[in-house]
Structure 1
Amino acid sequence: MNQTHAQSGTELAILAEALFLANLLLLPGICFLWLAYLYFKHRHTGPPLARSHLEQTFIASIIGGVLLVIANLAILWLGGYRSANTWVVLILYFTTIHSTLVVLGMVGLSKAMAGSEFRFPLIGRLSFN
């Protein structure tokens, strides 16, 4: 591994984006916990590129989780999981929110692989600092 490559934080930025996508598509929960661990470990000490990607993916994961809870509450409010409304809410959620997060995660991963910062639209300026 090239020393400047490691110092720039590219590997950690790529890992953050990959964990974000894996949390959405492959292993929800487990990948979020791993991402949260990396965020809290490197949020003050990591290279700027890595900190940027870690913060973006961590915040987007939390917002995605909140939106999933809201979708479930909407399903319950509209008649429960046996109602026909369940499919309307699920299809709307997956075709708008979930797919948007996946596309943004792919853009973020490509930016991380290029060694560039990436800010999510709308939520990109949110910060825990």
Structure 2
Amino acid sequence: MTRTEEKTDGKGLAIAAESLFLLNLLFPVLPLIVLGFLYFRHRNSPRLLVECHVKQTWIMALLSTALFVIINLVAYWMGGYQSLDNLVSIHSLVALEAYTLLVILPFAVPGLLGLTKAMSGQCYRFPFLGKFL
């Protein structure tokens, strides 16, 4: 595939979006900002591959970041994070486990499948979101 073909089909952009989504699961917020920039810049793209991957990863990254914030707020309201001396309390450990089990694992598998589909130049629909888009 030549460089001009790669630019026209959006394969590189789809790979970048899927990679940023997976990074957002491990490091919330910062990859979300970059992914948001990609989404708002390319949201009206006529390329099916770009529309398919960028839109879905943007919405899924928003959802995973919202769950991250909610889980940490619940841990804070339950008495965790009172001081920096007690940062590793039972509440913070429960929040970390909840985020790992409820967000990272269910979101990472479709994200990895989406990344492999983007690398092969195919469209991919997330199982629990693709029906609504």
Structure 2 gaps, min length 5: none
Alignment of structure 1 residues 58-73 onto 2, 5 Å: 58-73=58-73
Indicate yes or no: 2:52 matched with 1:52: yes
* Distance in 2, Cα, partners of 1:118 & 1:70: 28
TM-score w.r.t. structure 1 length?
0.83
Q: Which has the larger radius of gyration?
A: 2
Change (3 A) 1:56 1:90: same
* Distance in 2, Cα, partners of 1:92 & 1:31: 21
* Distance in 2, Cα, partners of 1:7 & 1:52: 15
Q: Is the 8 A contact 1:17 1:108 kept in 2?
A: yes
Q: Is the 8 A contact 2:28 2:65 kept in 1?
A: no
2:97 aligned residue: 91
State the percentage of identical aligned residues. 39
* Distance in 2, Cα, partners of 1:85 & 1:19: 29
Alignment of structure 1 residues 1-129 onto 2, 5 Å: 1-25=2-26, 28-81=28-81, 82=86, 83-127=89-133
* Distance in 2, Cα, partners of 1:40 & 1:48: 16
Change (3 A) 1:36 1:126: farther
* Distance in 2, Cα, partners of 1:5 & 1:50: 12
* Distance in 2, Cα, partners of 1:32 & 1:88: 24
Range that drifts further, 78-87 or 14-23? 78-87
- Give the drift of 1:54: 0.3
User: Secondary structure, in 3 states, of the residue corresponding to 2:12?
Assistant: helix
Q: Is the 8 A contact 2:75 2:92 kept in 1?
A: yes
* Distance in 2, Cα, partners of 1:84 & 1:30: 27
TM-score w.r.t. structure 2 length?
0.81
Q: How many residues align?
A: 126
User: Secondary structure, in 3 states, of the residue corresponding to 1:115?
Assistant: coil
